[in-house]
Structure 1
Amino acid sequence: MPLATPLKNLDRELARFHGRLKAGGIFVVLLAAALLGRAFYLQIAQHDYYIQRAENNRISLVPVAPNRGLILDRKGRILAENYSAYTLELARAQPHDLEATLTEVGKLIEITPGELRRFRRLLAESHEFETVPLKSKLSDEEVAILAANRYRLPGVEVKARLFRNYQAGPGMAHVVGFIGRINDRDLKSLRESGREQNYRGTVHIGKTGLEQSYETLLHGRTGFDQMETDASGRAVRALSRIPPVPGKDLRLYLDEGLQAVAEHAFGDYMGGLVALDPNTGGVLALVSKPGFDPNLFIDGIDPETWKALNESPERPMVNRVLRGIYPPGSTIKPFMGLAGLELGVRKPEDTIVDPGYFSLPNSSHQFRDWKRGGHGIVDLRRAITQSCDTYFYKLAVDMGIDRMHDYLQKFSFGEKTGIDLDGESAGLLPSRDWKQRRWKKIWYPGETVIAGIGQGYHLTTPLQLATATAMLANGGKRIEPRLVQAVRDPLTHVWQPQPVVVHEQLAIKPEDLAVVRQGMMDAMRPGGTAAAAAAGATYTIAGKTGTAQVVGIKQGARYDAGSLSRKNRDHALFIAYAPAENPTIVVAVMVENGGHGGSTAAPIARAVFDYYLTGKRPGNMKFEGSDASD
């Protein structure tokens, strides 16, 4: 017999239903409260924040790059200027078939293989939000064609950009330098210095020369346009503008005409020349030859050209005035002579008998004089005039390498001069301690002998030689060399002179300095080593020739330039100032593999002196600059 079905407990079922209904009601109330709370938070508590975000979606800040400052020579000639041109660029952020777009653009205007290679290189280096230039300096016809076909070229933009032009060309490349496209290393440096915001919208930055050293002043301050945009991001109207502030202009001590004369005077030789004002430290000319065209780097140099420049045996990218280090040769002798007098090792009237060589005690090795048979009886003045090696061999031994080092160091040898260009070499001023630290070896007496005539370990730059010579010319003031004479504010248009930086005033006895100066003046007169270079001058020159060995010569052998390849011939050096009575210009010249300073380097300096002091140019030179402001 089947069991009876138990009756349902209606009260329990009803209580369970009421519980579920209550729980559901509580959940609905809580959910409604959460929604209301969230709405309150979004609409009231965060009202200002979201209004601002909505406004930002409607309004865009478009950076406006400032005009870069100009670089002018002392007479107002423009060395670096700006001009505007249209550029074809592709936006990475917009979705489009890159290859198809490039093909389509190539059907409309000419895109060279070099431009394509540069575009792909820049594309790999650029950031996602950037536009990448494909073709620069578009013609009006090309701009019109691209504008008419823009509707079918997604991601393609034609922008007006500022470009840099270096009118002076290769001769001024190592001074002015060049700008180049901002890369990752530049961005990192800008972030670390807190200047990244000021470079929004800027494509280029100074890479070398004054463009790099004075980048902060030349760049200016970026402005911003506040633009209203539609839902697709297109600009509708301009709301407001924070105008950009142009960069500051630089006026140099340097004279473009003097620079051109110096470069021309080198002819086919390589080397470096620097001319200074001994009273201000102003750089009047700075030539490193060969140079290069800085305009090649503005849009991004192609790999083939870069390889040719970078791997050239002539090293056109190296600034020989700042970074070329060479033995000073006999140009060190005036400083050695002054050291001997000031340290009490020699008196002006002290003489030696020069047989044509010098030997250390108990040694048969002969350190030869350049003049076979010697100079006879020689005092300091005549030793400088005729560049007597034997006199300075003996002086070096009597002085010792340590005292020699300490005194020459006061003339900037072995130290950076502090010029307002990056990349300067400190050269090398040897000492006993230096050799021990560097090579863990003792110093030998024979090394002191050859140091007395600027050979051996001693290495210097043309700029160091010029700075030291300026101290002879101005009575011992060590002035920091400077290219920039004044800076012009773009808002007030007022030129602000830059300070003259005097590091120290070396106390030199006037009578000692007079002996050295007289020896240098005699070197430019009949019987002196550079007499031919001074012939016919209407002003007095004080100078010193020098020759720096490139390859060693065996004991008993004589130097024969004709038997050597050009790259193994001696370097020719010359230092001088003029007018000797009241110097206004100092020149240091180094001619690589030029042979003798008197016959190769000194005539180059004479051309510079003639132009600066009398306005005379070499007869076979054409100079296209303007002397209207002379």
Structure 2
Amino acid sequence: MRRHSPIKDHLSERRTFASRTLLAFAVVVLLMGALAARMVYLQVFEHDRYATISDRNRVQLEPIAPTRGLIYDRNGRLLADNRPTHNLSIVRERTDDIDATIAELAQLVPVTERDIAGFHKRLRERRRPYEPVVLRFRMSEAEIARVAVNFHRLPGVQIDADLTRYYPYASSLVHALGYVGRINERELERVDQQNYSATHHIGKLGVEKFYEDRLHGKVGLQKVETDARGQILRVLEREDPQPGQDIRLHLDIELQLAAEQALGEQRGAVVALDPRTGGILALVSHPGYDPNLFVTGISGRDYRALQQSEDLPLFNRAIRGRYPPASTIKMMVGLAAIDSGTVSPAYTISDPGWYQLTEGGRYYRDWKRWGHGKVNLKTAIAESCDTYFYDIGHRMGVDPMSDYLGRFGFGRVTSLDLPEANGAILPSKEWKRRVRGRPWYTGDSLNLSIGQGFMVATPLQLATATMVIANRGRWVNPRMLQRVIDEPEFELPVPERKQLADVQLKRDGYWDHIITAMEEVMHGEHGTARRSGQGADYRIAGKTGTAQVVGIKQDEEYDAEALAERLRDHGLFVGFAPSRDPQIVVAVVVENGGGGSSAAAPVARELFDFYMLRQKDVQLADQG
């Protein structure tokens, strides 16, 4: 028999459907509530956070590099300038393929392998995201135009306007000013990274390095709105950078060029000081090099050529060259002898042309082989008699000599703003025992008395010691800076380690004695530099010196023609003018130039004439 199904229960179905509908509705309401709660949370409680994140995508904070301060000479002539230039840069985050972009740019403008290598190095050293990295410096107008019309297919490529350091006097001032170059990671660690966030260059040497804090300035900031491709749409806010301070140096560019011309093609150095202020009027080291090559990065080939040159153009002879001072220190040795009481100013010897410590012992010869006859301190300085100084050096010993030479600044750095200056060597008993591990011998004192042996000095030290004589013992430290232009009250501090006391002698008349002897060098009948002093309508006080480069055996005579050019003697000169009212002090070193009277003194005379005659013209103009 067939069984029939029960009658359908519509009420039960409706109840089931209703419960399911309510459940589904509850789930929908719950989900909508969760969504609404999430929206409230994001829009209300997290609003600030997500607004900031959104702004980061839309708004970029960009640093603005300050303009570097300018450098002027004492007369307002511009020595270090900033020139406008345009650089080709790439922003890494805004391009998909760096190599492809560079290859495409190379089809538009010249891009060398050196440019590409430099770009990748700068890319590795990059300090923040979205920072443009330079591929090519100093774009021409035609190159800028070719790139600009192709911006639409070169994402991340941009042309940046910039100011680049420029040195109009090039090699003539490089050893005085130094230069700026690309900042490296080691230098970045020493500075305020935020303040240098947009700066690509920093002072590397000299004045540019020492006054970096004042020349650099303070970074500025701007908020810019960008599109999805990172292109700037508008500037929202801007805080202008503070430019670096302009500075004025004591340097006299006309005197600097005159010194360079007087030195000619000879290797050597010239330093000129104002004895009243210690200002460095000229600082020449020849040969030099063009600092503009270093501003945007010198090629490896060019740098190797400078490094490997036997003339050492990278070496600053004026402040780092260490030369035997030879007879240019005889004034200080003479002062030490009479002020210490070793001998009187009237002390006289008979010079046969040589000196012996013991009978039958070694001959310490004078440059004049037949001798000078009867000699006192004045004639010994005027005629540069070595035998006289052998004698007083033997009587005095090393201690007074080293002490007095130290009072004049030898053996230490006394300049205030030349960071590469060298202290050279002032020997003493302690120095020889510490450095050479041997005792001091009497023969060492004889060598020291004529500026030979262990002692070496820089041209700047020779000029400084001569300046102390010109000032009759008054000490003033050499300095480049005359003033900060917008801060006229600024005074360059003198560190305690560089603060030397004035040289006080037992009798002030000793200064007159020494200065008179220096005048005889230039104007006396037998003065070693009398030819360079001829015809001057002002009085010059000077001293020549001849420093041996190689030793000569006792029985041999010095023959310059028989020696290689680089083994010949150095010529030295120090002096000041006018002798009784000093306005300029000059020190000259001519490497392998021969005697100081023939090689160095004529260079100094040209500078004295240039400076004194120009001063006379200025005075006449003022009177007119």
Scaled by the length of structure 1, what TM-score is found? 0.88
SS in 1 for 2:600: helix
Shift of 1:42: 6.3
Q: For the residues of structure 2 that align with 1:285 and 1:309, how far apart are their CA atoms?
A: 24
* Counterpart for residue 360 of structure 1: 357
Q: For the residues of structure 2 that align with 1:420 and 1:84, how far apart are their CA atoms?
A: 29
Alignment of 1:180 onto 2:181: yes
Shift of 1:131: 2.9
Alignment of 1:295 onto 2:292: yes
Q: Alignment partner for residue 428 of structure 2, among 426, 431, 443?
A: 431
Provide closer, same or farther for how the CA distance between residues 298 and 189 of structure 1 changes in structure 2, counting only shifts above 3 A.
same
SS in 2 for 1:197: coil
Q: Alignment partner for residue 399 of structure 1, among 381, 396, 399?
A: 396
* Counterpart for residue 151 of structure 2: 150
Provide closer, same or farther for how the CA distance between residues 500 and 543 of structure 1 changes in structure 2, counting only shifts above 3 A.
farther
More moved, 230-239 vs 252-261: 230-239
* Counterpart for residue 455 of structure 2: 458
More moved, 588-597 vs 152-161: 152-161
* Counterpart for residue 515 of structure 1: 513
Alignment of 1:346 onto 2:330: no
Q: For the residues of structure 2 that align with 1:369 and 1:427, how far apart are their CA atoms?
A: 26
Q: For the residues of structure 1 that align with 2:592 and 2:35, how far apart are their CA atoms?
A: 87
Paired residues for 1:89-168 under 5 Å: 89-123=89-123, 125-126=125-126, 129=129, 130-168=131-169
Give deviations 1:177-225, integer Å, cap 9, x for gaps.
11111111121222xxxx1111111111111121111111011111111
Q: Alignment partner for residue 254 of structure 1, among 248, 251, 254?
A: 251
* Counterpart for residue 540 of structure 2: 541
- Size of the aligned set, in residue pairs, is 583
Give deviations 1:584-619, integer Å, cap 9, x for gaps.
1000111111110011101111111111110399xx
Alignment of 1:506 onto 2:507: no
* Counterpart for residue 420 of structure 1: 417
Q: Alignment partner for residue 223 of structure 2, among 217, 221, 226?
A: 226
More moved, 117-126 vs 301-310: 117-126
Shift of 1:40: 8.1
Paired residues for 1:430-509 under 5 Å: 430-489=427-486, 495-496=488-489, 498-499=491-492, 503-508=500-505, 509=507
Q: For the residues of structure 1 that align with 2:357 and 2:32, how far apart are their CA atoms?
A: 106
Alignment of 1:60 onto 2:57: no
Provide closer, same or farther for how the CA distance between residues 582 and 339 of structure 1 changes in structure 2, counting only shifts above 3 A.
same
Q: For the residues of structure 2 that align with 1:100 and 1:484, how far apart are their CA atoms?
A: 50
* Counterpart for residue 612 of structure 1: 611
The amino acid of 2:517's aligned partner reads: G
Q: For the residues of structure 2 that align with 1:155 and 1:605, how far apart are their CA atoms?
A: 58
* Counterpart for residue 5 of structure 1: none
* Counterpart for residue 555 of structure 2: 556
Give deviations 1:56-101, integer Å, cap 9, x for gaps.
4432221111111111111111111111111111223334333322
Provide closer, same or farther for how the CA distance between residues 114 and 50 of structure 1 changes in structure 2, counting only shifts above 3 A.
closer
Alignment of 1:530 onto 2:522: no
Provide closer, same or farther for how the CA distance between residues 36 and 100 of structure 1 changes in structure 2, counting only shifts above 3 A.
closer
Shift of 1:500: 8.1
Residues 94 and 230 in structure 2, CA contact (< 8 A), matched pair in contact too: no
The amino acid of 1:300's aligned partner reads: G
Q: For the residues of structure 2 that align with 1:305 and 1:273, how far apart are their CA atoms?
A: 26
More moved, 205-214 vs 129-138: 129-138
Q: For the residues of structure 2 that align with 1:55 and 1:111, how far apart are their CA atoms?
A: 36
Q: Alignment partner for residue 372 of structure 2, among 359, 371, 375?
A: 375
Residues 462 and 589 in structure 1, CA contact (< 8 A), matched pair in contact too: yes
Q: For the residues of structure 1 that align with 2:478 and 2:39, how far apart are their CA atoms?
A: 69
Q: For the residues of structure 2 that align with 1:318 and 1:51, how far apart are their CA atoms?
A: 57
* Counterpart for residue 602 of structure 1: 601
Q: For the residues of structure 1 that align with 2:335 and 2:588, how far apart are their CA atoms?
A: 21
Q: For the residues of structure 2 that align with 1:120 and 1:229, how far apart are their CA atoms?
A: 26
Shift of 1:505: 1.7
Provide closer, same or farther for how the CA distance between residues 411 and 35 of structure 1 changes in structure 2, counting only shifts above 3 A.
farther
The amino acid of 2:93's aligned partner reads: A
* Counterpart for residue 7 of structure 2: none
Shift of 1:480: 1.0
Q: For the residues of structure 2 that align with 1:363 and 1:60, how far apart are their CA atoms?
A: 88
* Counterpart for residue 307 of structure 1: 304
Residues 227 and 237 in structure 1, CA contact (< 8 A), matched pair in contact too: yes
Alignment of 1:331 onto 2:332: no
SS in 2 for 1:349: coil
Provide closer, same or farther for how the CA distance between residues 361 and 45 of structure 1 changes in structure 2, counting only shifts above 3 A.
farther
The amino acid of 2:510's aligned partner reads: D
Shift of 1:113: 4.7
Paired residues for 1:79-94 under 5 Å: 79-94=79-94
Give deviations 1:530-583, integer Å, cap 9, x for gaps.
011111111110000001110000011111111111100011110000000100
Residues 484 and 498 in structure 1, CA contact (< 8 A), matched pair in contact too: no
Provide closer, same or farther for how the CA distance between residues 133 and 234 of structure 1 changes in structure 2, counting only shifts above 3 A.
closer
Unaligned runs of 5+ in 2: 1-29
Give deviations 1:34-56, integer Å, cap 9, x for gaps.
99999887666665455444444
Residues 381 and 516 in structure 1, CA contact (< 8 A), matched pair in contact too: yes
Q: For the residues of structure 1 that align with 2:240 and 2:127, how far apart are their CA atoms?
A: 26
* Counterpart for residue 17 of structure 1: none
What is the RMSD of the two structures over their aligned residues, measured on CA atoms?
A: 2.5
Residues 487 and 498 in structure 1, CA contact (< 8 A), matched pair in contact too: no
Shift of 1:346: 1.5
Provide closer, same or farther for how the CA distance between residues 551 and 45 of structure 1 changes in structure 2, counting only shifts above 3 A.
same
Q: For the residues of structure 1 that align with 2:336 and 2:560, how far apart are their CA atoms?
A: 33
Alignment of 1:275 onto 2:272: yes
Q: For the residues of structure 2 that align with 1:440 and 1:154, how far apart are their CA atoms?
A: 68
Give deviations 1:468-506, integer Å, cap 9, x for gaps.
1000001112211111101123xxxx6446458574222
The amino acid of 1:146's aligned partner reads: V
Residues 76 and 251 in structure 1, CA contact (< 8 A), matched pair in contact too: yes
Paired residues for 1:66-81 under 5 Å: 66-81=66-81
Give deviations 1:315-362, integer Å, cap 9, x for gaps.
111111111011100001000001111111111111011110011135
More moved, 202-211 vs 107-116: 107-116
